[in-house]
Amino acid sequence: MPGKLDIGKIVFGAFIVPWRNRYAFVRTLWIPLLALTAVSLLWGHLDEPFRGRVVWALYAVYWLLFVLFAVTCHRLVLLDAAAVSFRSLPSWSWRETRFALLLGAVGVICIVVMLGAATFFVNVPGVATASSGELEWIKYLAVIPAYYVFARMSLVLPATAVDRKVDLKWAWRSTKTNGWRLVLVVGVLPWVVSEAIGLIYRSEPTVFETLIVSLLTYTLMVVEIAALSLSYRQLTENDAA
């Protein structure tokens, strides 16, 4: 049974590890980071009618780029050889395919949980007759169990990034005593980062402002992914595998 996750150590390490290895991170991540930024710029400045025609293509490109970005981040944090053996030009393999499938599966499960929770809360006696403004709190309540389920399953992602053949059942078992601590890592930390970035974002930004905010967003995303990687390392340090 894994011990209690040290949240302070995880958050501190999520900032320190990428900084200490910044040259390896920059050398390895600059292509997917710029590509993600380009997609964000394109999405924000396309005319609405044209955007509607290419929306699914943009989603697909973004998904593939994000998988490459996330897998590389996990490996940079978890593999000691990463700084010297990683190539600047990213490539796609079965590792990335499996990561994408598992991430998609976890996402679908979390959506189902969130919809189920929302349906439950709406059917609580007295709630159905409330005004739309009073029902606003339901969506926030429904997100909580979805975050919890995502946190319990999230270890499968860094494990897959370093080629461990594990499944969602393994991830659920490995996080048995640390579910709410992981919610802080995969839920609260990204929310804090998002809110901080939102403070400098304004409506109808210029292309330059969108570029800066996008670069900052994906740079801080490295911290969020590193936090999950370090959580995986701490919770599985005694695994025989």
Which of 51-60, 76-85, 137-146 has the highest mean predicted lDDT (pLDDT)?
Answer: 137-146
Tokens of 77: 């944090």
Full domain range(s) for residue 214: 7-235
Residue 69 near residue 98, CB atoms below 8 Å: no
Q: How many domains does the chain divide into?
A: 1
Is 241 a member of any domain? Answer: no
Whether 240 maps to a domain, the answer reads no
Task: Report the predicted TM-score, pTM, of the whole model to 2 decimal places.
Answer: 0.88
Report the pLDDT value the prediction gives residue 11, as an integer from 0 to 100.
94
The answer to whether 171 and 155 have CB atoms below 8 angstroms apart is yes
Q: Per-residue pLDDT tens for 175-210?
A: 999 999 999 999 999 888 888 877 777 666 677 777
Q: Would you say 220 and 68 are in contact if contact means Cβ atoms under 8 Å apart?
A: no
- 36: Cα within 13 Å, side-chain hemisphere: 23
- Is 2 within the bounds of a domain? no
Residue 112 has pLDDT above 80, yes or no: yes
Tell whether 185 is covered by a domain: yes
For residue 161, what pLDDT is reported?
A: 95
Mean pLDDT taken over the chain: 85
Total length of the chain: 241
**Amino acid of residue 50:** F
Give the amino acid at 131: S
Range 143-153 average pLDDT: 95
Identify which of 211, 185, 137 has the alpha carbon closest to the alpha carbon of residue 13.
Answer: 185
Residue 79 backbone zone (phi > 0: left; psi -120 to 50: alpha; other: beta): beta
Encoded amino acid at 137, one letter: W
Residue 190 resides in a domain: yes
* pLDDT at 107 > cutoff 90: yes
C-beta of residue 189 within 8 angstroms of C-beta of residue 147: no
Q: Considering the domain boundaries, does residue 144 fall inside one?
A: yes
98 or 47, greater pLDDT: 98
Q: Is residue 39 a part of any domain in this protein?
A: yes
pLDDT higher than 70, residue 82: no
